Chains A and B, each alone.
Chain A
Amino acid sequence: MRLKVRTLAGMLATLLLLGVIVYRELPSLLYHTGYYQALLQWFPNDENARPAMNRLAMDMIQNLEGGETDYIFIRSSGGASSSGPSSSKRLAFEQRTAAIDKLEKLLTQYGHTQQTSNVAYRLALTHFWSGNWNRAEQLLREIDSRGDEGWFSSDELEKYLAILESRHHRAGEEASLEGVVRIGDKVVPNAFVYVQRADLTTYYSPPLTYYPATITDENGQYRFYNLEPGDYQIGVGVRKEQISGYYMTELEAEKTVVGGAATAVQNVQFVPQVIAISPARKEIIQGDELRLQWQPYEGAAYYMLNISSIHRDRIGKYSGATTTSISEDRFTGYEAVFSIRELNRDNNMIGKSYGQNREVTLNTAGLLGMLYPGGEFAWSVDAYDEHDRKLSSSAGYFLHEDAVTPIFRVAEADIQKGDRLVMEARYEEAIEAYKREGDNDHALRILARLADQGIGAEDGDQREALSYMERIQDPWDSDHTFMDWLRERISKQK
Chain B
Amino acid sequence: MNQAGEDRKIRDQLRGELESVVFHEEMQAAVLSRAAEPKPSWWNREVRIPTPFIAALLLLILAIPAYGWQQAHSMQTDMVAKNTGKDASQEERIIVSAAGVFYASQLEGENR
User: Are A and B co-members of a single complex?
Assistant: yes
Residues of A bordering B, CB below 8 Å: 1-6, 8, 15, 22, 30, 34-39, 41, 56, 59-60, 62-65, 69, 72, 79-82, 84-92, 95-96, 98-99, 102, 240, 273, 281-282, 306, 308, 310, 316-318, 320-321, 323, 378-380, 394-399, 403-407
Asked if B96 and A98 sit within 8 Å, CB to CB, the answer is no
CB neighbours of A36 from chain B (8 A) = 76
Query: How far apart are B70's CB and chain A's nearest CB, in angstroms?
Result: 10
CB neighbours of A378 from chain B (8 A) = 97, 99-100
Query: How far apart are A78's CB and chain B's nearest CB, in angstroms?
Result: 8
Closest B residue to A312 using CB positions:
B108
Asked if A380 and B91 sit within 8 Å, CB to CB, the answer is no
Residues of B bordering A, CB below 8 Å: 42-51, 54, 61, 65, 71-73, 75-76, 78-80, 82-86, 88-104, 106-108, 110-112
**Total inter-chain residue pairs, C-beta < 8 Å:** 174
- Checking B49, B82, B90 against A8 with a beta-carbon cut-off of 8 angstroms, the contacting residue is B49
Q: Which 7 A-B residue pairs are closest in the complex by CB-CB distance?
A: A38-B72, A378-B99, A323-B98, A63-B84, A89-B88, A82-B94, A35-B72
Closest A residue to B82 using CB positions:
A98
CA distance A95 to B72 in the complex (A): 22
Asked if A405 and B107 sit within 8 Å, CB to CB, the answer is yes
CB neighbours of A63 from chain B (8 A) = 84-86
Closest A residue to B106 using CB positions:
A405
Asked if A323 and B97 sit within 8 Å, CB to CB, the answer is yes
Asked if B99 and A318 sit within 8 Å, CB to CB, the answer is no
Asked if B98 and A308 sit within 8 Å, CB to CB, the answer is yes
- Checking A1, A4, A38 against B75 with a beta-carbon cut-off of 8 angstroms, the contacting residue is A38
Query: How far apart are B31's CB and chain A's nearest CB, in angstroms?
Result: 24
Asked if A3 and B49 sit within 8 Å, CB to CB, the answer is yes
CB neighbours of B84 from chain A (8 A) = 59-60, 62-64, 99
Query: How far apart are A424's CB and chain B's nearest CB, in angstroms?
Result: 19
Q: Chain B interface mostly helix, strand, loop or mixed? A: mixed
Q: List 26 A-B contacts (CB under 8 A).
A: A3-B47, A4-B47, A6-B43, A30-B72, A36-B76, A80-B96, A80-B101, A87-B91, A89-B89, A90-B88, A90-B89, A91-B88, A102-B82, A308-B97, A320-B97, A321-B99, A323-B98, A378-B97, A380-B100, A394-B100, A399-B102, A403-B102, A403-B106, A405-B100, A405-B107, A405-B112
Extra 10 A-B pairs, beta carbons < 8 Å, given A91-B88, A281-B111: A1-B50, A1-B51, A2-B49, A4-B43, A22-B65, A63-B85, A89-B90, A323-B98, A378-B99, A399-B102
- Checking B48, B61, B94, B98 against A395 with a beta-carbon cut-off of 8 angstroms, the contacting residue is B98
Q: Chain A interface mostly helix, strand, loop or mixed? A: mixed
Query: How far apart are B109's CB and chain A's nearest CB, in angstroms?
Result: 9
CB neighbours of B89 from chain A (8 A) = 89-90
CA distance A1 to B91 in the complex (A): 65
Given that A34-B76, A35-B75 are known contacts, is A3 also in contact with B85, CB under 8 Å in the complex?
A: no
CB neighbours of A15 from chain B (8 A) = 61
Asked if A282 and B110 sit within 8 Å, CB to CB, the answer is yes
CB neighbours of B50 from chain A (8 A) = 1
Asked if B85 and A399 sit within 8 Å, CB to CB, the answer is no
Given that A41-B75, A378-B99 are known contacts, is A318 also in contact with B51, CB under 8 Å in the complex?
A: no
Query: How far apart are B52's CB and chain A's nearest CB, in angstroms?
Result: 11
Given that A64-B84, A310-B107, A316-B108 are known contacts, is A5 also in contact with B90, CB under 8 Å in the complex?
A: no
Given that A35-B72, A397-B100 are known contacts, is A95 also in contact with B85, CB under 8 Å in the complex?
A: yes
Asked if A395 and B100 sit within 8 Å, CB to CB, the answer is yes
Asked if B43 and A5 sit within 8 Å, CB to CB, the answer is yes
CB neighbours of A316 from chain B (8 A) = 108
Closest A residue to B84 using CB positions:
A63
Closest A residue to B109 using CB positions:
A282
CB neighbours of B111 from chain A (8 A) = 281-282
Closest B residue to A96 using CB positions:
B85
CA distance A308 to B101 in the complex (A): 13
Asked if A405 and B90 sit within 8 Å, CB to CB, the answer is no
Asked if A5 and B96 sit within 8 Å, CB to CB, the answer is no
CB neighbours of B45 from chain A (8 A) = 4-5
CA distance A273 to B99 in the complex (A): 12
Asked if B47 and A2 sit within 8 Å, CB to CB, the answer is yes
